[in-house]
């Protein structure tokens, strides 16, 4: 068995009586297209926060490749290619779209601490940011403040920022949340066209999107992994249908 | 098209003609108002103080009610040196910068662990502690009576500080110009842009892997250095330092001046400070008792009608 891109071993976190992660052992293979689903409050976003380092686990370990990153701060995990997007768009709202992406490129290239040369002199970083915007069809909005864009396009900027960080493992926290159904198509297209070597974990409520994109699905219920498997098996699983899919998937 | 957009974005740091205006005005002021140069020198030095506050508040979003701690530390450092036989002004400035910067670094390590209201309270506490320490150490600071007997030597052993404030004015003008140039370089650098990122969305900044705490501490220290230089300029040109240099009122006033001009724009200080100080000078001659009322009224009008300060208003009309 090859080394997973991301692995958690018996990850545990509780806030008082509320357990948000109950001994979660999870693996994401390189190049995987995997989805994490579960009812509201199942602990999906908490899992993302634990993995990225925004939350500290009470017990358990997190591995990126061969490295134990459990004790590493968030920034160090980002440097190792563990990148997330946010469920609720978290952009630099008043800064232009290209600035949003350029800031990320600068951090990845390690020039974000440069204190004397004007940022405009780091032309390669700006060009890289612009190329990314072109790739996602955002170039016409490059100079507009992020909060002036339609929400669906803001979600794309969110993806652009994460791609600017050269992810090895990309955690997409509800990439289509709040996006009108007419616009979710372009987000799906972008996700489908991501480089195949990125290990992708999509946290999502939109089952169309999940079943279209994911090759494996992990179902999380009350902080525990209920079941994991290929989409067909998950869709057919009576337990999953009872706790989660049943209410939505009356096909 | 592509490269046009990238070119434009890459050229944002270029100087515009408008940026020369405050300096031309300051230079012209030297000839136009020869009898107001002493006030002019104070205005210039206070602009630097407001500029230093703008770096932390306007760019990094660090709220502070204790910036007078650095201003006063700089003033007392330069003052105590000059009162004890070392009146050389340039080294006095450097010593003030170092002392204020050290205080910024050490206190920043503690207070910057928090944000928002608790940060505000902690900066206030630091400033109060420094003020109280200066009060208790009256054998060296003069305590309540203020620091007496400063003797500032001529600049380069050559340019005397004269009674009319000519030397003082030009001295302040050059020091503030150099500091402004440095501040401008900083805010346009990737580091400065990342500070804006921290202000706009700190979670996102963590998520793109930026060492947020280190950057906040660094700009806090840089800002303390500039505030210290500003205090030292005033101490050297007025040859007096008092406990009011460390007061809460001083910390608050500089924020008011900055807000009047516009926060986070680098030039707010250049508008707000002269306006406030000249208004104060005029109002207090006409109505010595009630002049604060007019300042208060001006503040209300700005908060209600011009949230981005006067520069924000200017922007809105230009569009």
Please state the length of chain A. Answer: 251
Q: What are phi and psi of B318, to 5 degrees?
A: -70, -30
Please report which confidence band the pLDDT of residue A235 belongs to, taking 50, 70 and 90 as the band edges. Answer: confident
Segment (H or E) for A6: strand A6-15
According to DSSP, the β-strands at A18-28 and A33-37 are unpaired
pLDDT band at B5 (very low <50, low <70, confident <90, very high): confident
**Nearest residue in A to B15, CA atom:** A118
**Domain edges within chain A:** 6-95+167-248
Of all residues in chain B, the one with the smallest CA distance to A161 is: B208
Cβ count within 10 A of residue B119: 18
Report the gap between the CA of A53 and the closest CA in chain B (Å).
Answer: 10
Relative to beta strand A67-68, strand A224-229 is unpaired
The whole-angstrom separation of Cα B136 and Cα B283 is: 35
Give the residue among B152, B146, B142, B148 at the shortest CA–CA distance from B82: B152
- Segment 216-255 of chain B within 8 Å of chain A by CB: 218
| Pick among B9, B14, B203, B211 to test the A interface (most A CBs inside 10 A) | B9
**How many residues belong to chain B?**
319
Residue B195 DSSP class: H
Domain contains B304? no
Which residue from A37, A39, A41 is spatially nearest to A18, judged by alpha carbons? Answer: A41
Note if the pTM is more than 0.95: no
Under the banding of pLDDT at 50, 70 and 90, the label for residue A250 is: very low
Lowest mean per-residue pLDDT among A27-31, A241-245, B54-58: A241-245
- Among left, alpha and beta (phi > 0; psi -120 to 50; other), residue A85 is beta
ipTM value: 0.87
Q: What is the pLDDT of residue B319?
A: 67
Provide the 10 A C-beta neighbour count for residue B174: 12
The rounded distance, in Å, linking the Cα atoms of B169 and B171 is 5
B199: closest chain A residue by CA: A92
- A127 contacts B6? CB cut-off 8 A: yes
Tell whether B284 is covered by a domain: no
Instruction: For B242-300, write each residue's pLDDT tens digit.
Output: 999 999 999 999 999 999 999 999 999 999 999 999 988 888 888 777 878 888 888 88
Is residue B211 assigned to a domain?
yes
Contact B204 A86 (CB under 8 A): yes
Among the partner-chain residues B190, B200, B207, the one whose CB lies closest to the CB of A93 is B200
Minimum Cα–Cα distance from A170: chain B residue: B207
What's the confidence (pLDDT) of residue B2?
A: 62
pLDDT band at residue B1 under the 50/70/90 scheme: low
- Pick B5's closest partner by Cβ from A79, A122, A142: A142
Residues of A in contact with B212 (CB under 8 A): 75
A 10 A CB-CB count for B72 gives 31
Enter the DSSP assignment of A198.
S
Type and span of the H or E element at B274: helix B268-286
Q: Let me know if residue B5 belongs to a domain.
A: no
Cβ distance A226 to A243 under 8 Å?
Answer: yes
Into how many domains does chain B fold? 1
Q: Hey, are the CB atoms on B203 and A90 less than 8 Å from each other?
A: yes
pLDDT at B312 over 60: yes
A107, A113, A118: residue with CB nearest B188: A118
What pLDDT does residue A23 have? 92
Q: How confident is the model at residue A183 (pLDDT cuts 50, 70, 90)?
A: confident
Contact A118 B185 (CB under 8 A): yes
Give domain A6-95+167-248's CATH architecture. 3-Layer(aba) Sandwich (3.40)
What's the CA gap between B92 and B72, in Å, rounded?
Answer: 14
Give the span between the Cα atoms of B194 and A114, in whole angstroms.
10
- Give tens-digit pLDDT for B125-159: 999 999 999 999 999 999 999 998 899 899 888 88
A173 CB-near residues (< 8 Å, 6+ apart): A44, A45, A48, A84, A85, A86, A87, A203
Domain range for B214 is 17-245
């Amino acid at each position: 068995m090859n080394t997973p891109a991301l692995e958690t071993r018996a990850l545990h976190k509780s806030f008082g009586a509320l357990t948000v992660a109950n001994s979660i052992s999870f693996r994401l293979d390189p190049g995987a297209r995997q989805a994490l689903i579960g009812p509201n409050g199942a602990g999906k976003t908490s899992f993302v926060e634990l993995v990225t380092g925004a939350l500290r686990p009470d017990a358990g370990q997190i591995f990126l490749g061969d490295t134990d990153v459990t004790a590493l701060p968030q920034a160090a995990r980002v440097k190792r290619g563990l990148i997330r997007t946010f469920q609720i768009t978290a952009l630099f709202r008043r800064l232009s779209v290209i600035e949003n992406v350029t800031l990320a490129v600068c951090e990845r290239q390690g020039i974000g601490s440069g204190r004397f040369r004007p940022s405009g002199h780091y032309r390669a970083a700006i060009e890289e940011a612009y190329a990314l915007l072109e790739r996602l069809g955002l170039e016409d909005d490059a100079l507009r403040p992020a909060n002036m864009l339609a929400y669906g396009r803001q979600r794309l900027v969110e993806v652009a920022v994460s791609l600017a960080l050269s992810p090895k493992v990309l955690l997409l926290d509800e990439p289509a949340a709040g996006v009108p159904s007419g616009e979710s198509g372009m987000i799906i297209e972008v996700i489908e066209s991501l480089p195949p070597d990125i290990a992708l974990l999509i946290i999502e409520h939109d089952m169309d999107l999940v079943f279209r994109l994911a090759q494996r699905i992990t179902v999380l219920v009350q902080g525990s992994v209920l079941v994991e498997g290929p989409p067909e098996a998950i869709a057919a699983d009576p337990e999953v249908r009872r706790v989660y899919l049943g209410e939505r998937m009356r096909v | 098209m592509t490269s046009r957009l990238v070119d434009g974005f890459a050229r944002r740091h270029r100087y515009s003609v408008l940026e020369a205006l405050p300096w031309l005005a300051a230079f012209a002021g030297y000839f136009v108002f020869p009898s107001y140069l002493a006030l002019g020198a104070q205005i210039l030095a206070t602009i630097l103080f407001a500029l230093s506050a703008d770096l932390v508040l306007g760019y990094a979003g660090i709220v502070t009610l204790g910036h007078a701690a650095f201003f006063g530390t700089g003033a007392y450092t330069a003052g105590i040196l000059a009162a004890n036989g070392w009146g050389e002004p340039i080294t006095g400035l450097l010593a003030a910068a170092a002392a204020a910067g050290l205080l910024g670094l050490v206190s920043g390590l503690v207070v910057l662990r928090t944000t928002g209201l608790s940060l505000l309270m902690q900066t206030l506490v630091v400033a109060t502690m420094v003020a109280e320490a200066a009060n208790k150490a009256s054998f060296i600071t003069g305590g309540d009576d203020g620091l007496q007997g400063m003797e500032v030597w001529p600049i380069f052993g050559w340019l005397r500080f004269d009674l009319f404030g000519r030397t003082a004015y030009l001295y302040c003008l050059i020091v503030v110009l150099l500091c402004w140039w440095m501040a401008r370089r900083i805010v346009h650098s990737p580091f400065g842009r990342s500070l804006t990122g921290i202000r706009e969305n700190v979670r996102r900044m963590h998520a793109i892997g930026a060492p947020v705490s280190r950057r906040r501490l660094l700009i806090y220290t840089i800002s303390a250095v500039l505030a210290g230089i500003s205090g030292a300029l005033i101490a050297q040109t007025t040859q007096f330092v008092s406990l009011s240099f460390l007061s809460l009122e001083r910390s608050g006033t500089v924020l008011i001046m900055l807000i009047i001009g516009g926060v986070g724009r680098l030039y707010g200080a250049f508008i707000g400070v002269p306006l406030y100080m000249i208004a104060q000078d005029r109002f207090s001659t006409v109505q010595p008792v009630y002049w604060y009322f007019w300042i208060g009224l001006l503040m209300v009008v700005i908060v209600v009608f011009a949230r981005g300060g006067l520069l924000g208003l200017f922007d809105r009309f230009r569009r």
